[in-house]
Amino acid sequence: MKSFHKIKISFTLGHLIMVGLVFSQPANPIDILEDYIQIGLKNNPSLKQAFKQWKSVEAKVGFAKGLPNPTISFGYFLESVQTAAGPQETKIAIMQKIPWFGKRKADGNSQLAKANMAFSKLEKKRLSVSHEIRKVWYDYYYLMRITDLTQQNFALIQNWDSVIRSKYITSRTGHPDLIKTQIELIQLEDDLLSLENQKQPLLESFRSLLHNHTLLGINVPDSLAFLEMDSDRIYLREAMNKTNPDLKMVGAELNMNKARLKRAKLNRLPDLGIGLEKIGTGEKVGSAFSGKDPMVAKVSFDIPLWFGKNKSAIKSASLSVEAVEQKVTSIQNELANELEKVLFELEEFSRQVQLYQGILIPKGLESLGATEKAYRSDKIDFLSLVDAQQRLLKFQMKYEKALINYLKAKSKLSVLTGEKTS
């Protein structure tokens, strides 16, 4: 087992404050995190699949709006039909079907809505992948910060150990204080080992999310800044209703079903067919001249004779529209509840961050400094010094946890609103 307490580090409280025990000037983490997110998005096979599916569906929009393919027919008379112009031997015809006005538009709108559904699905996947990458990155940052705080506390107690040994030699303190420092060092050593063992699982999760299994480590800054966002409920609710992928997806589904309903109603109207037909005639018997091959202009109409079939199709499409409308309402209510939960989390974690950052940690530092000074002057016992140190460490760790929870809540908010909030 790696022995941490064999490494002699001499830090005073003043040194710890100087190196940033509580808050150092934070590096800008945006570029670091965004680079990782872009790698993850680029390498994700599910996203690639969703993109191809969207492009495939989108490519069919023009096809849906187009005219049906014309039909060409050819016929050969097994027995020639004798006419004054000559015997009829062959027949060739071309026919173009023209859907009734509005049918092609309805088909195009239906396919366009389907493409929008596929795109919204792609956007939802993109936001989900980004969120998962952020969460693991934040967890790794938290692990590194807790490790750093623990190491600094380890160094601080090492320094106290040397003071206690000096006091013990001069009989200014008892053996229990000496034992107490050793226990604290062993406990912190075990904590550091436990924290070290947590790195690899997080790294493996991060590698999996980035689809980069050769990644050697995760780059995180020394500290993250707390930047409180404006949690305007009205604005966020409006943004969510406009850009949330689930709502956009179900909105597109509603448009698709409305287009299909319109198409079902238009199916009651006949489609037009226009074409030409040419009859090939042979030479007229007993005459040097034969008549010209006749040309026939043709017009046809579909007869929507089966009214029950059309009525059933309209009813089915109408019920589908109503069902999706209910689905829209249900999703809106669910998302509104989820938004309120996330906003509550943001407010609560923001309160905690500001409490620890602005009040408890500065007071804990002040208390530890005064307690250490009193202990060196033999005015208090060692247990009081340890209590002050443990209290400060608790405040620092709770601050880091509240900050990470706040950042994760912001990331969840970005998934809900479909907008970048970090």
Q: Report the CATH number that the domain containing residue 360 is assigned in CATH.
A: 1.20.1600.10
Instruction: Inform me whether the pLDDT recorded for 22 exceeds 50.
Output: no
**Site of tokens 């040309």:** 295
Range of the domain at 399: 13-417
157, 185 Cβ separation under 8 angstroms = yes
**2 lies in some domain:** no
State the pTM of this model. Answer: 0.82
How many other β-carbons are positioned within 10 Å of the β-carbon of residue 2?
9
Q: How far apart are CA 379 and CA 371, in angstroms?
A: 9
What pLDDT, on the 0 to 100 scale, is given for residue 170? 60
Give the count of alpha carbons within 13 A of 170, CB side only: 7
Percent of the chain residues topping a pLDDT of 70: 86
412, 131 Cβ separation under 8 angstroms = yes
In terms of average pLDDT, the best of 15-19, 258-262, 277-281 is 258-262
Q: How far apart are CA 161 and CA 70, in angstroms?
A: 94
Give the count of alpha carbons within 13 A of 331, CB side only: 19
Instruction: Inform me whether the pLDDT recorded for 169 exceeds 70.
Output: no
Read off the amino acid at residue 256.
M
CA-CA distances (angstroms) from residue 348 to 7, 233, 339? 40, 15, 14
Predicted confidence band of residue 295 (pLDDT cuts 50, 70, 90): confident
* Average of per-residue pLDDT values in the chain: 86
Read off the pLDDT of each residue in 16-44 and give the average, rounded to a whole number: 68
**3 lies in some domain:** no
246, 50 Cβ separation under 8 angstroms = no
First to last CA, the chain: 40
Nearest C-alpha neighbor of 96 from the set 224, 233, 231, 276? 276
Query: Residue 306, class by beta-carbon neighbours within 10 Å (0-12 exposed, 13-18 middle, 19+ buried)?
Result: exposed
CA-CA distances (angstroms) from residue 332 to 86, 114, 128, 244, 318? 74, 20, 19, 10, 21
What pLDDT, on the 0 to 100 scale, is given for residue 6? 37
**6 lies in some domain:** no
Q: Across-strand partners of 299?
A: 274
What pLDDT, on the 0 to 100 scale, is given for residue 353? 97
Instruction: Inform me whether the pLDDT recorded for 27 exceeds 70.
Output: no
Instruction: Inform me whether the pLDDT recorded for 12 exceeds 60.
Output: no
**151 lies in some domain:** yes
Q: Is 94 left (phi over 0), alpha (psi -120 to 50) or beta?
A: beta
Nearest C-alpha neighbor of 22 from the set 352, 396, 397, 400? 396
User: For 45-102, where are the alpha helices, taking DSSP H only?
Assistant: 45-65
Q: How far apart are CA 403 and CA 406, in angstroms?
A: 5
Question: H-helix or E-strand containing 43?
Answer: helix 30-43
Rounded-to-10 torsion of CA 410, 416, 420, 422: 0
In terms of average pLDDT, the best of 96-105, 272-281, 314-323 is 314-323
371, 13 Cβ separation under 8 angstroms = no
**Strand locations in 307-402, DSSP E?**
none
Predicted confidence band of residue 365 (pLDDT cuts 50, 70, 90): very high
**Site of tokens 């930047």:** 227
**146 lies in some domain:** yes
**Site of tokens 């009081």:** 384
**7 lies in some domain:** no
Give the count of alpha carbons within 13 A of 294, CB side only: 14
Q: Which range (158-172, 177-191, 212-226, 250-264) has the least confidence?
A: 158-172
Read off the pLDDT of each residue in 139-145 and give the average, rounded to a whole number: 97
Q: Across-strand partners of 76?
A: 90
Rg of the chain over all Cα atoms, to the nearest angstrom: 38
Read off the pLDDT of each residue in 164-175 and give the average, rounded to a whole number: 62
Q: Which range (288-292, 371-375, 418-422) has the least confidence?
A: 288-292
Q: How far apart are CA 381 and CA 374, in angstroms?
A: 9
Instruction: Inform me whether the pLDDT recorded for 293 exceeds 80.
Output: no
**422 lies in some domain:** no
- Residue 22 sits at the vertex; the CA angle it makes with 358 and 202, to the nearest 5 degrees, is 115
In the chain, the number of structural domains is 1
**110 lies in some domain:** yes
What pLDDT, on the 0 to 100 scale, is given for residue 28? 61
173, 138 Cβ separation under 8 angstroms = no
Nearest C-alpha neighbor of 328 from the set 238, 216, 247, 269? 247
